[in-house]
Every structure is written in C-alpha cells, then in structure tokens.
Structure 1
Amino acid sequence: MRIKQLQVKNFRLLENLSVNIEDDITLIVGKNNTGKTSLFEVINIFTKSSQEISFEDFSLSTILKFKRIIDFINRIDFKQISEKRKDLFEKIIQNQTPKVQLYIEFEYDIENDSLINLSEFITDLDEKRNDATILVSFESLNSLGIYSSFLNRENKEVDLISWLKENVKKYYQLNCYAIDRDSDFKKEIEINFKSKIEKIVSFEDVKASRTLDDTKSDKNKTLATGFSHYYRERDKTKEDVKRLEETLKQVSVDLKNEYEKVLNDVIVDLNHFGASTPITIPQIEIDSEFNSEAVIKNNIKYYYRHDDINLPESYNGLGYSNLIFMVLELTSFIERFKNSSEEKKSEFLTILIEEPEAHMHPQMQQVFIKQITKKINDAKLNGINIQLIITTHSSHIIAEAGIDLKKGFDRIRYFNKINGNLEVNDFNNFKHKKSDTETFRFLKQYLNLHKCDIFFADKVIMVEGITEKMLLPMMINKVAPDLNKNYISILEVGGAYTHKFKELLNFIKVKTLVITDIDSVQLENNRKACRVATPDSVTSNATLKNWLPKKTTIADLISTEVKDKFEGKFIRVCYQISENTENLYIARSLEEAIINRNLVFFKGKFKDLNAENLEVEVEVKSKFELLKKIDFDGSLDLYELSPKKEEKSQFAFDLMTFKAGIEDLSWNVPKYIEEGLEWLAKDE
C-alpha cells in the first residue's frame, strides 16, 4: 500500500496542486517561494491532532472569493424573494465559499495488502480498481451565517478580512470524507478521522528549522536528543534494554538510601517548622527515580573521537551534527513503526524531510541520500513499506537520487511559478526519454557530472565556453544589473550540445537565454572556418541549425528577425549581429565581437603611474597580451585578431583585470549579448 497522489486546494501558495508520489523517494525541487514547505505543512495540519489551521493559511485567491460573495449578498434582499430562490442562493453561497482541502489518494495490492483500515474509505466494488481517496476539508458549517454575522457586526469599521481572521474558526471545521474520484460519491467520516488516517499511514517529518548548535555552551545537545528519541522507540522487550532498565532501578534504590542520609537533618528541621502554630507542614519523603530516556538525554555526555582525544559534541561541525541527527530521527521513526502495538500500527510509513542539505558539504549530501536509500530498501526487505518525500535545493541530492539509471528523472517534481500561478512538472511525463534516448542519455550524464542548478534557478544562461562564463558577471553588471536580483544558473555546454536541452527547458518552463556563436564555415572548402562575410558560407553550429532559428546559411541567419529567435515565451537565442548602421561588420566569435565593439576603447590611451611613481601615458592595448603588437591605425583584419583556443582565457582575464588608472575607460558589451541580457532581465 502506498500514497499515489496528493492534491491540495486553497492552502497558501497551493491554489490547486497535484503531486504524484513515487513508491520510494520523491524529490520536491524548484525555486524559492514555490510552495514546497506548504505541502508539508498542510499534510501535518490535516492529519495530526496537534496542528490547527488559521485564516492566514487560506490562499490569496480565496480573499477575492470572500469579497465577491459579500458583494453578491449585498445585492439581494432575502426578505423580498421566494423561498425557492432563497434556497438556490444559499446553495450558491455554500458552494462558492472557499474551502481548504487535502486529497490523499492511496493505491493498494488486493492480494497482498490488508484492507481492514482502508476499507472505510473504499467507495467502489470494482475488482479492477485498487485505489481509495480521502478528502480532508476545512469548510464552513453555515456559510450564510458567516456573512450574516459579518454584516451585523457591532464595529462597522472592521473590514471583512480582519473580521474573518478573528472569527473564521467559529464557523469552520475540519471534515473528512471518503470520495470516489470517478464519480460524485462522497461519504462523511464523522468520528476520529485523524486517528483513522493514522491507522493507514503514519506521517513523520524532519523540519528544515532543526535546532543545531556548535558553540561551546552545547545547549542544544543534538546527539543526546537524537539518541534519546531512538531509545524511546526501541523494542523494550529486548534483553539489552531490559538489563539497562533493571540497572537503573537498582541505582535508584541505592541512591534513595544515600539521599536520605545526606538530607535527613534538613528534613527533620523542616518537620519542626510550624510546631505550636496552626500551620502544618506535610511530611517530606525522598525517592530516587531514573527515567531511562531522560538519562540518555541529560546524564550521558556524548563525544566525537578525534585521534586519541574525545571532543565534546559542540566541537564538531553543524554538518556532522545535522547528518547524525537526521539518521537517528529516521531510525527512530522506523523503530517506532516496527514496535507499535497492533491497535496503533499503521499500514505504512511516509517520512517528510525538509532541506536535509542544511550545513552539509556536497559529498556529505550524497552520502546522506545514499544511506537513506539503503535504509529504506532494508526496511522494505523486512516488510516495512516506507515512502520518503524530500524538499531540497541541493543539486547533489538530485544527482544522487533524482537521476537514476533505471528511473531516469522520474523521482523529480519541479515546482515553478508561471505568471503567479504554481505549476508542478512531473518528470514521469517527460516523454523525451522515450522519443530520443540518445539525448536523454546525454542529459543524465551531463546533469550527473555537473551541478543540477537548472532545477533551482530563476533564470538560465547557456554559453559555449569558458570565456563567456568568465565574462558574464561583468557583462550583466554593465547592461542588465537587475539580473543580480535573480539566481542565475550559467551552463557551459558548447554549441554542439546546447540543442539537447531543448525538451528539458521547455518542460520546466524556466526563462533561458542561449548565447552562441554564428560559426561560419565554407561548404566548398571542407567546412573550413571563414569570415562571416564569405559568400555562400554556412554555420557549423548545431543549435542554430537544429533548434533556433533553424537556419543554415549565414545570409539567412543575418537576416533573421528578432521574433524568430524565440521558442515560445521562455527561450531566446542570441548570436553575432552588426553593432549599428555605422559598424556593419559581423564577428564570428565572442572575442572578435568584443574587439569589434570596442575599437575606440582599444585604440585609447590613459594616464598611469610608472615604477618611479611618475605619471605617464599608457596605451590601452598594452594591457592585453593579444593586442600588444597590433597597429590599430593601420589596415586591421578583425578576423585575424580573434584569439586562438589557447589565448581565449588570457584575453578574458585581461578584460576582467583591466584598470585604467584615474580615468574612466571601460569596454562595452557586444550588441547581441546586450540585447539578450536585457530581454532576460525583464520579468514578463
């Protein structure tokens, strides 16, 4: 038995969210503020008795619905309409009044699973079906009563939203239903529905806000807390546990006798107080009690062994503390599940872990997810069914658990906001894995070998080589500084492979700029590199030929309009173009384009101080190894100036480190990149 799907309606950012859950590990990834934490919160609130919902948990869209209903009611005079129309309007109001809802869809094996606990929620008799759905709904008891009470409020200055914040719990309650997703059938579960859900699935969670401490005060005692939780869930019938409990009992008896000897005098004195007065002080007795869990937490000191020295817990890094704490918590959950009495036992266990990567370096993150995967598999071999749902911002956890040789990307659920609306991309629907296995294999290898930042980025820039990657931060500061407010993932993939990301980028709908070279070659001369202006030349760039703008000849690429450099709203390509009507030259590569755009800059001079601290005039080109011997006043061939492969990084470093003394001399960004970055910076 397992959870097949979770659906949430009207909870915070989750207006209408559906998430399919894998049978082992599901990774919830995406940019910040896309509702990942809210998913865990609604599960805890709706399935655990200690949690409550408040008006602030309603989604923003429901605020407008409440206001529309009030406007609707204000336009109706209920005293003047018939009972039939009154009943109709009341039904409309009841149906339109917002509800916060959680749907949990289960899938079961008819032959192997016990259906005793789930049977109350199974709504069909079809032997071919193996699903059941629970709906937990925070809904109004009397919708018309809510608005009537608001309209009749004493303080008319209180607006609707402020009034609802104070009064929503009077008119709302959590109800539970067994529903049939294929029909309108709905049956209310009236008594102890949370305990009934817990008999089916036990939800356990490890929150992101874990209390860790690496200061000398050691006040949080992470190890002590973790070990005490683990001990609490241990099977108390085991011999080692029984021996420990017996030892503590004997220690309690011995200490009681010693306490009485040490404290006897003061007890006798206390018993004499109040003699000959109406005040009677109760007799004081001393006993010694040892709670084994408290002893493990408060009376045992935990150390890390370092060479031949035992170091206190606080001397170890937060990463290790976090790793050990989470492993202990997960082990405790499994022990609790395994040792639960029959009347409290759930059918299976679902563990929610929020951002496990906190304080961990990359290798530790990969170790963590490997070990957790092994622990889940071991538990399943022992008959314990566990589903793990993890929210993460770690590309290393994705690389380790989300990109599997067998499952591919299937464990990944990508949360994204499109025009203010939350979308979930389920990689089970990433059909490219079937239609183009070679490309899919490349993506798996690339994302394994490089960071999976693409899954967390606000925007993506794809570049061909190291020069572009090195210079992009400076280019962004020069022409599109607003981009610094976003998290930008810069992927260096090369023009021959960029087009292989087409399906992935379209699937996750992240705004992407592809910066590539026009790469002109001669067909008649064995596809040898040539000047862009060479007649009948073509491009060797696979991105331009096979993806955007899907043109081969250089003439067609030059004449391509800006609108044809887009794929939908989210992807744009840019490659070399002329700088302006006065400078029609088109470069073949980035370095050539930079030189062409900055001829005046490279010809310039500035004043600087020499070794004797005297002011001298210095040529700008002297600061660039590539250009030192170039005569900019003579006949200049920009194509020949373009650096060879081994000179590209040197040219980039020279640009990055150029400083023109006290004068304001600066190089400019080539037009094609400037246009692309300005588009990327806009938040359409």
Structure 2
Amino acid sequence: MKIKQLKVRNFRLLDNMVLNIEEDITLIVGKNNTGKTSMFEAINIFVKTQEISFEDFSQSTYFIFNRLLRLINQVDFNSISERRKEIVEKVIQNQMPKVQLFIEVEYDVTNDSLINLSEFITDLDENRNDATILISYESNNSLSLLFSFLNREKQEISLIRWLKDNIKAFYQTKCFAVDKDSDFKKDIDLSFKSKIEKIVSFEDIKASRTLDDTKSDKNKTLATGFSHYYRERDQTKEDIKKLEETLTNVSIVLKGEYEKVLKDVISDLNNFGVSTPITIPQIEIDSEFNSESVIKNNIKYYYKHESINLPESYNGLGYSNLIFMVLELTSFIERFKNSSEEKKSEFLTILIEEPEAHMHPQMQQVFIKQITKKINKAREEGINIQLIITTHSSHIIAEAGIDLDKGFDRIRYFNKIDGRLEISDFNNFRHKESDKETFRFLKQYLNLHKCDIFFADKVIMVEGVTEKMLLPIMINNVANSLNNEYISILEVGGAYTQKFKELLHFIKVKTLIITDIDSVDGNGEECKTDFANAETCNSTLKDWIPKKNTIDELINCNEEEKFDTEFIRVAFQIAEHSNTYVGRSLEESIINKNLIFFKSEYTKDAINKKVKSLFTLINQHSSENLLIKTPWDLRPKSSSSKTNFSFDLMTFDEKETGLNWEVPLYIKEGLEWLAGICMVNISEK
C-alpha cells in the first residue's frame, strides 16, 4: 500500500497542486517561493492536530469571496421563489472556497489488508486498486456567512478583513471518501484523523531543525536524537529490561541516601507552623529514574578525536544535522515496527525538508546514500515506506534523482509562471524514449556538473570558459538586478547546447543562450563575418534557434526569430550601433566594440611608465602597427591566449587608468531581456 498522488487546493501558494508520489523516494525541487514548504504544511495541518486560519487560504480565493458577495447583493430574497432561493443557495455553497487535501492511496489486492482502508473504497470494480481520502475545510452555511458580513457592526471593514477574524465561526474540517472518476462522495465521521492514521503514518523532519555548536551545548542534539530512538525501541527486549531494573535499584539506594542527607531540613519543614493556624503538608522524598530522561540528560555524548574525547557541542553543525536526521528517521521506523496492532498503520510516509542544511556536498551525498539504504532495508523487512524530500541540493539530486534505471523519474520540479504554480513530473519527460543518446548525455552532464538548473531562477548557457569568466562583470555593467537572483551558468559548448532543448521546454525556466556566430568559408575554414557567402558552423544556430545557415541571414534576424517559446532566447553577434562590422567570436566582438579602449595609452605602475595600449600587455602586438590592425587581426586565437584575454579584462583597473570597456551589444540585449529590462512579445512557434 502506498500514496499514489497528493492534491492540494486553495492552500497558500497551492491553488491546485497535483503531485504524483514515487513508491520509494520523491524529490521536490525548484526555485524559492514555489510552494514546496506549503505542501508539507498542508499535510501536517490536515492530518495532524493543527488548525487552519484564514491566512492559509490562497489569495486567488479572495476574488471568489468577493464575487459571491456581489452575487448575493444582486438577489432580492424577499421577492424570489423558494425554488430560486434554493438554486442560489446551492450555487453559493458549491462555489464558496474550500481548502482541501486529497490523498490517493494505491493498494495491492493480493498482499495488502484492506480492513482500515475499506471505509474509503468507493467502487466495486475489481480492476481498480485505488481509494481517495478528501479532507476539506469548508463552510457550514455560506448564506449565513455572507449575511453575517452584510449585517456587521463596523460597515467600513472589507469582506477579506472580516473573514480573517470570523472564518472559524462558519467553517469546519470535514472528511470524505471520494471516487476520482465520478462525483460520488461519502461522509466520514469526525474521528477521521484516527482512521487516516490507521492507513498512513506521516512523520516529518522540518528545515528549521534546532542545532547547536556552541560551548554551552544547550540543545543537546545527539542526546535528543538518541532519547527519541530509545523511546521507540522494542521495550520487551532483554537489554531494555536490564537497564530498567538497574535504574530501579539505583532509585532505591538513592532514596535512602537522600533521606540521610536531607533529614534535618525535612524535619524542620515538617515542624514548621506547629501550634499555629498554618499547616504545612508533610514532605516525603523519593528517587525516580526515567530511562529516556537519563539517556537525554544524564548520559554525555562525545566525539572521538585522535586520543581525546570532545563534547558534542565541539562538532560542526553539519555532522550534528546528519546524525540527528539519521536518528530521527531510524526512530520513525522503530516506532512503526513496534506499534501495537490497534495503533499500527498500513504504511509510513516521511517528509524531510531541506536535509542539506549545514552539510557540505560530500556529506549531502553520504546522507542520501545512507537514507536510501535504510529505506531499502526497511522495505525488505516488509515495511511499506515512502520518503518525500524537498531540497535545493544538486548533490542529493545527482545521487537519488538521476538514477541509471529510473532516469529523472523521482524529480518533481516546482515552478511559478505568471503567479501560477506548475509542477513538471519527470515521468512525463518522454524525450528519454524518443532520443536515448541525448537523454544519456543529460544524465551524465547533470550528474557530474550542474543539477542546480533545477533550483535556478534563471539560466545562462555559454560555450566556454571565456564567457563564464566575464559574465559577472557584464551582468554588473548592464543588468545588475540579476545579482539579486539565482542564476545557473552552464558551460556546455556550442555543439551540445541543443541537447538541453527538451529539458528547457519541460521545466520552462527562463534561459539565455550566449553563443558565437562562428563564420566559415566554403571549405569550412574560419573566416571574417563579411566574407562572401560565409556560413555558420554553429549547430545551435543552424538546427535550433533561429535555424539559419548563412551569416547574412543571421545578422538580419529580427527579434522574434531569436526565441523558442517565451522562455528561451539566443544571443549571437550583431552589428554595433556605431560599427557595421560583426565579430565572429566573443573576444573579437569585445575588441570590435572597444577599439578605442584597446588602442588607448595609459599610465602604468608607480614610476609613470607609458604603455602604448592594453594589447602590448595581453596580445604582445607591436605598438608601431597596432593602430592599423582590425579586430580580426587582434583577436586571441589559441585557448591559452583566450584565457589570458579574459583574465586581463577581469583584473584591469578601470579606476586607476580612467578607461573602461563596454559589453558587446548582443550580450547586452540578451542580459537585459533575462533581467526583464526589455520586454518582448513572442508568439508560439
């Protein structure tokens, strides 16, 4: 038995979330503020004992509340028929916003016991093996709610403000068994939470874990973790019995010693108030040892470091976090195994929020490896267990989300587009079937390098190291607002860029592709862009965006042709405003844009030694013929000279020299689009 799907409606950012759950591990990824934490909160609030407040309603419901208020204001209930009143009342009741959680459970008819689930099974079809639990926070009487607002004491208060204070008087949490293929719905009584707990036990480890690496060691992370584990162990085992007997004997001995030490003061207290109207109750002392309390407060935990033992607080937060989560997860499994039959659930679902906190990359991989082993072992022992993790860790995705057999199937990508949540389920990423070579490349590339594409606000794809090194300077100069966002910069090479096409389409993350126009002559040799009949050898430009072959066609592309959907834009060399020549590469384009800069004289070092130009430093051109050379002549040609070119530009001191260089126009326009500085309306291709 397992959870097949979760749905959340009208809860915070989750207007209508549908999330398919894997049978072992499901990874929830995506940029910040896309509803990942809200999903966990919805489960905890509905399934456990917390209450919903009006702040939990999604903002999209505000419009519906106000629309229903306008509707009721348009109806004269004194003049319409009873039949009409019933229709209006039904419409308002059905449309009144509800906050809901759907839990779809899938079962195995042959191996699973259906005793606890039977009340939620709504069909008689022997070919089906699903049941859906609906927990709904909804109004008892919608008309009464709206009329109460209309008759409110303070007429200046708006409906939304009034609901914030009064929603609980008109709403309650209900539970239903529903049929996902029809409108059938059956009421479940108010004891529904205990009935759900008999089916699935939800446990969670929150992101805001209280950890401590200070000398005072107030939180005692290890002690807390071990005491939780001890509490959930099988208390009938022989070692547990021996520990309890030892503590009982110690208590008896200590009671006698306490009585000796405290005899005089107790006698004084018992005699206090004698012969007065005030009577002091007689005081007795006892010694009690609770084994769990002893493990938490009495036992001291140390880390072995060479020849000495260091206190728990001397360990880093990363290790404390790792150990604490492993202990918590083990405790959950022990509690599930050792539950009595009347309290035992059919299966266990554990929610872990951002486990990577405080852990360096290698430790993150160790964590997910060990957790995966622990889950697999529990499943081998007959425990149905599912793990749902929200994460911003590329290493956790690489270890658990990109599997040789399952591919990306464990990944659920949360993205917010125009204020609306979209979830990309990688089980639907069918490119893995249509182009296995590309899919294999993506698995290898993302596994080894850049899984952070799944967490980025925006993506920039570049060909090589030169662009990657200079991009931070360019962003600062022309699109500084991008520094406030998480930008994933992928160095992929021109030949491989289009292998990301289907992935970028699938996750719909705003992406700028910066590539070179790469002009070649009829023999395939590099040539200037103004060479007659020059073509491009760049596969991205030829086969993806904008699907043009000749340099003339590329230079004359309009803005719309540089897009693939509204999310992906390509940027390649174009003519500068004051210069019709177009560079072939990034380096040539920078030189072409900044000829005056590169050929200018400036003062170098403390002894005022004159240096003819920057190129006498970075390209070793003789200063005598420098002024007649073109960008094509001046461009660095080898890989090492291109790298040196980038380093020299990065370290050039503009303040000291009074000179500065400008970003080529094609990159400037691309970065401005990515930052939202210039908006372009793009129709679907």
Displacement after TM superposition at 1:64 (Å): 1.4
The whole-number CA distance in structure 2 between the counterparts of 1:177 and 1:566 is 47
Displacement after TM superposition at 1:610 (Å): 2.6
Partner residue in 1 for 2:16: 16
Partner residue in 1 for 2:154: 155
The whole-number CA distance in structure 1 between the counterparts of 2:432 and 2:532 is 40
The whole-number CA distance in structure 2 between the counterparts of 1:395 and 1:630 is 49
Verify: 1:647 aligned to 2:644, yes or no: no
Equivalent residue in structure 2 for 1:675, among 664, 669, 673? 669
Verify: 1:176 aligned to 2:175, yes or no: yes
Change (3 A) 1:305 1:518: same
Is the CA contact 2:270–2:280 (under 8 Å) kept in the aligned structure 1? yes
Partner residue in 2 for 1:305: 304
Report the secondary structure of 1:548's partner residue.
Answer: coil
Is the CA contact 2:177–2:185 (under 8 Å) kept in the aligned structure 1? yes
Q: Identify which range, 276-285 or 341-350, moves more after superposition.
A: 276-285
Partner residue in 1 for 2:381: 382
Q: Identify which range, 657-666 or 292-301, moves more after superposition.
A: 657-666
Note the alpha carbon deviations across 1:127-161, whole angstroms, 9 max, x for none.
10001000000000111111111111222233222
Displacement after TM superposition at 1:236 (Å): 0.3
Change (3 A) 1:213 1:632: farther
Note the alpha carbon deviations across 1:68-127, whole angstroms, 9 max, x for none.
111222222211221111111111111111000000001111001111110000000101
Amino acid at match of 1:568: T
The whole-number CA distance in structure 1 between the counterparts of 2:616 and 2:328 is 59
The whole-number CA distance in structure 1 between the counterparts of 2:206 and 2:494 is 42
Q: Identify which range, 310-319 or 552-561, moves more after superposition.
A: 552-561
Partner residue in 2 for 1:571: 568
The whole-number CA distance in structure 1 between the counterparts of 2:622 and 2:410 is 57
Partner residue in 1 for 2:36: 36
Note the alpha carbon deviations across 1:433-490, whole angstroms, 9 max, x for none.
0000000000000001103110011110000000000000000111111111211110
Pairing of 1:20-419 with structure 2 (within 5 A) = 20-49=20-49, 51-419=50-418
Is the CA contact 2:223–2:301 (under 8 Å) kept in the aligned structure 1? yes
Pairing of 1:447-486 with structure 2 (within 5 A) = 447-486=446-485
TM-score normalised per structure 2: 0.97
Change (3 A) 1:205 1:573: same
The whole-number CA distance in structure 2 between the counterparts of 1:449 and 1:573 is 25
TM-score normalised per structure 1: 0.97
Equivalent residue in structure 2 for 1:589, among 557, 570, 585? 585
The whole-number CA distance in structure 2 between the counterparts of 1:279 and 1:572 is 87
User: Considering only aligned residues, what root-mean-square deviation do their CA atoms show, in Å?
Assistant: 1.3
The whole-number CA distance in structure 1 between the counterparts of 2:625 and 2:144 is 84
The whole-number CA distance in structure 2 between the counterparts of 1:73 and 1:213 is 56
Amino acid at match of 2:421: L
Pairing of 1:620-659 with structure 2 (within 5 A) = 620-621=613-614, 624-626=617-619, 628-631=621-624, 634-643=627-636, 644-659=638-653
Amino acid at match of 1:421: R
Q: Percent same amino acid at aligned positions? A: 71
Amino acid at match of 1:397: I
Amino acid at match of 2:41: E
Report the secondary structure of 1:67's partner residue.
Answer: helix
Report the secondary structure of 1:528's partner residue.
Answer: coil
The whole-number CA distance in structure 2 between the counterparts of 1:29 and 1:248 is 48
The whole-number CA distance in structure 1 between the counterparts of 2:320 and 2:370 is 16
Note the alpha carbon deviations across 1:183-229, whole angstroms, 9 max, x for none.
11000001310110010000000000000011011000000000000
Structure 1 gaps, min length 5: none
Verify: 1:540 aligned to 2:534, yes or no: no
Partner residue in 1 for 2:682: none
Structure 2 gaps, min length 5: 680-685
Report the secondary structure of 2:618's partner residue.
Answer: coil
Partner residue in 2 for 1:554: 551
Change (3 A) 1:377 1:661: closer
Q: Identify which range, 536-545 or 378-387, moves more after superposition.
A: 536-545
**Would you say how many aligned residue pairs link Structure 1 and Structure 2?**
677
Displacement after TM superposition at 1:633 (Å): 5.5
Report the secondary structure of 1:529's partner residue.
Answer: coil
Pairing of 1:482-493 with structure 2 (within 5 A) = 482-493=481-492
Change (3 A) 1:661 1:184: closer
Amino acid at match of 2:594: N
Is the CA contact 2:55–2:164 (under 8 Å) kept in the aligned structure 1? yes
Displacement after TM superposition at 1:166 (Å): 1.3
